[in-house]
Structure formats: C-alpha cells, structure tokens
Amino acid sequence: MRLLNEGNVDLRIDFREQRSGIIEELRKCNSQLTYQVGALPVGDYWIGDRIIVERKTIIDFLASIKTGRIFQQGYRMAQSGKNVLIILEGDQSDIVAGSMSRKAVQGAWIHLTVFLGIPVIRSLNISETAHVLIYILDQSHHHELPRPKPIIVGLTGIRVSKNQRQKLFLLQNLPGIGTKKGLTLLRSFRTIENILNAPPEDLMKVRGIGLMLANRVYQIFHEPF
C-alpha cells in the first residue's frame, strides 16, 4: 500500500476501493499513472489537490438514500472547499433491483446536483469509471477549475443538529412535507430508513400527516421504478 504522504501523484485512492478492481482498470488506461492508496477523509478519489470524486454503484446509491448517508457524504464533500462530483456506476437493471420509486431517486438527485452543486456522472461499469477518472485527470492539467462556492446549511428559527439537518433536507423534497412535518417525522421515527419502511397507518400517527399524505409518501418509496 502506498501512503498518502509520499509526495505529488496524479491520483489518491481510498484504501476501501482496492477490492473494486479500479486500480487494475486504471493501469490498463494509463500505465504511467502515479497513485497512492490510503485513508481519505472524504470521497474515494482525489485528483491532484483540487478534485474529489465519490464512486457509488447504483445499488449502494439507493441504499444510501434510504439511510440518508448520501446526504451526509454530500454535505461533507460540498463543504470541503474543493471541486467535487459523484460517479454513479451501473445500469437500468440495478435501479429496478433496488426497488425504489423514480420520484425518490429524482428527489435525491435534484438535491445533490441543484442544491449542493455536486455533478452526478453515469458510468456503466468499473472499466468505464476508470476511463472517466483518466479523462478528468487529463483535462485537469489543461483547464483552470472554478473556485467552488461554500455551502451553508441552516434552518432559520429551528435548532437541530447537523446530522438532523442533512436528513431533513431529504424529507423536504417529498411532496406535502415541509420543514415542520419533516422534523416531526424524524422525531417520531428517528431514522430515514424507519420513515421509508413505515406503512401509511403508522405515518398517520404523526401530527399533521393525514391519510392522503401518508399514502403519497409511502407510494413514493415503494412504487416500482
């Protein structure tokens, strides 16, 4: 394993990516590539000192929506002061197998791209992901990157923890769920996953959630893609 303090390299790779096969594919793309493997504080790949890339398979992406982890990762990346992006790896069959509605996926995608300013690039497989990383690396040598704008996370007049804010932003993307109802849902069910798995009759126990809204929230996360 190469340590992260060995000097200037083209690419820094988080040690958890070693089993993905990405290093072998990167070598096929560019045998002269210099890289280091170690523990990265955020993201899976650092290109130079300016670009952070998070790689996610579609299955992992869908699972991270259910738990709210993708938004925690997104905020950490957005607040890093670097140019960041997500490579989403997989095909349509992976989305179908993930059993999540199109609206739920779109809501997460919109929040990442529009509100956090994190581009999401599609890739079919690990080989294409390696090529995308090489393309980004090559272009980073020839183009000046814009300075990213800082992301400010806050809810006026509502005192919640940073972790609660991140989960609340996901719920606010659901139709009919604003800040107050989202916060009430979190306080009642404690986790995003519990809310997603709750049947309408349990959602209706929360103040302000009626039958129509409970059914709508349930359908968003359980209707086939």
130 and 78 both lie in a single domain = yes
69 and 136 both lie in a single domain = yes
In a domain, 107, yes or no: yes
CA within 13 Å, CB half, 122 = 7
Decide if 123 contacts 132 (C-beta within 8 A): yes
Q: What is the pLDDT of residues 106-138, one digit of tens each?
A: 888 888 887 788 999 999 999 999 999 999 998
| Chosen domain end from 91, 107, 140 | 140
61 and 129 both lie in a single domain = yes
Band (pLDDT 50/70/90 cuts) for residue 215 is confident
CATH number of the CATH domain containing 198: 1.10.150.20
Q: What is the reported pTM?
A: 0.66
- pLDDT attached to residue 26: 93
In a domain, 178, yes or no: yes
- pLDDT attached to residue 171: 74
Residue 134: give the domain boundaries: 11-140
114 and 180 both lie in a single domain = no
112 and 218 both lie in a single domain = no
**Helices and strands of the chain, counted as H and E runs:** 11, 6
168 and 135 both lie in a single domain = no
Return the exposure string of 117-155: e unless at least 16 CB atoms fall within 10 Å of the residue's CB, then b. Answer: bbeebebeebbebbbbbbebbeebeeeeeeebeebeeee
In a domain, 153, yes or no: no
| Residue written as token pair 């523990």 | 39
CATH number of the CATH domain containing 67: 3.40.50.10130
In a domain, 49, yes or no: yes
122 and 172 both lie in a single domain = no
Decide if 167 contacts 135 (C-beta within 8 A): no
Residue 118 to residues 67, 72, 85, 154, 173, Cα–Cα distance (Å)? 19, 13, 5, 18, 17
- pLDDT attached to residue 161: 57
Q: Within its chain, how far is the Cα of 73 from the centroid?
A: 6
117 and 188 both lie in a single domain = no
- pLDDT attached to residue 195: 85
- pLDDT attached to residue 128: 95
In a domain, 148, yes or no: no
What residues have CB less than 8 Å from 91, skipping those under 6 apart? Answer: 58, 124
111 and 177 both lie in a single domain = no
Does the pLDDT at position 30 exceed 50?
yes
106 and 169 both lie in a single domain = no
In a domain, 149, yes or no: no
121 and 216 both lie in a single domain = no
* Encoded amino acid at 84, one letter: V
Quote the number of domains for the chain. Answer: 2
Q: How far apart are CA 4 and CA 2, in angstroms?
A: 7
Q: What is the pLDDT of residues 69-79, one digit of tens each?
A: 888 788 888 87
In a domain, 3, yes or no: no
Band (pLDDT 50/70/90 cuts) for residue 194 is confident
88 and 124 both lie in a single domain = yes
In a domain, 51, yes or no: yes
Structure tokens at 175: 């139709």
SS3 (DSSP) at 53:
strand
